[in-house]
Structures are given as C-alpha cells and as structure tokens.
Amino acid sequence: MHPATEQIIAGNKARTDALIAISNIQVAAFERLSALTFNAARAMFEDSVAQARAMLGAKDAKDLFDRNAALAQPAVEKAIAYSRSMYDVAVQAQNEISRVMETHCAEMNRGFLAMLDKVSPQATPASDAAEAAVKSAFAAASAAYSSLSRISRRATELAEANVAGVARGVRAGRKKSA
C-alpha cells in the first residue's frame, strides 16, 4: 500500500475514534442529566405533597404564611443545587470533549507536518516558500486554537465563580432571615 494511502486511512481512523469518544462523552452526560432531572422532578413532587399537607394543617392565616415562608427557602436551595449539578455535568463534558479535541488536533498537526517533512526533500526550490507558508499557517492555527482553549477555560472559571457567588448570596440571605 502507498504511504499516502496509509496516512489517509490512519487519519480517517483517528477522526473516527475522536468522534466516537466525543459521542460517548455526550451520551454519558445525557445519562447524568436525565438522572438529575428525574431525581429533581421526583423530589419536587414529594416536596409539593409535603407542603400541601403542611398547609392543610395551618390553624390560621398567619400560621399558613409562616409555614409557606419556612418551606420556600429549602425550595430555593434545592433549585440552586439542581442548577449547580446541571452546570457541573456540562462543564465536565465540555472539559472531556476539549481534551479529546486538543489531543486529536495535535496528532493531526504532527502527522501533517511529518508528511510535509517527508515530501519537502522531493520538492522544487520554488516550493520552499509555499511549504514555509503552510507551516506558518499551521503554527498560527495552533496558536489560535490554544488561545481559544484558554479563553474557554477562563470563561468556565468565571461562570463557576458566578454560580458559587449566587450560592453564597442565598446562604447569606438565609442567615439574615433566620
């Protein structure tokens, strides 16, 4: 088999493996999100039943208001915990997919540059400029991808800090009202 054909086959296999890995990550994330949503729905139903029973036991309007207020805070905390869990699953999946893509892109770049190095001794002197331009373009694309990865990680860190800040604010509000 011709070396170029072998490289094409190897490249196709690598891309297929990367797509399968990404698909597996997405399916696993969907499973976790489905379980989270199901458990949250079940807990919400059980809490609603308990709240209805508590409301039916109220002696007067003030007691009804007090019971309702006492049950509202845990509901807010559960909603925040649910949102945080959903966010954690999404971030984990994003990180895993980024890791697969970074690895795949790095391997693809190395393979392409290795192929250029094999072909360059056979190239004409006039094609040196074209080869240099291609290598420069690859270097620029790699730098841009690295920069985007850093920006994405930073955005994720900022979002995590915002979620943590909201949770702290809710806890602080609960302490003030208690």
Tokens matching residue 46: 């059980």
Tell me the CA end-to-end span of the chain in Å, nearest whole number.
77
pLDDT attached to residue 176: 66
Contact present, 25 and 93 (Cβ < 8 Å): yes
pLDDT at 67: 83
Q: What is the mean pLDDT of each run of 10 residues along the chain (178 residues)?
A: 73 88 94 96 92 87 86 85 90 89 82 72 68 73 73 75 72 64
- The string of DSSP letters for 135-165 reads HHHHHHHHHHHHHHHHHHHHHHHHHHHHHHH
Residue 126 confidence (pLDDT)? 65
DSSP state, residue 57: T
Q: Structure pTM?
A: 0.67
pLDDT of residue 173: 66
Which residue bears the tokens 């805070």?
73
pLDDT value at position 175?
67
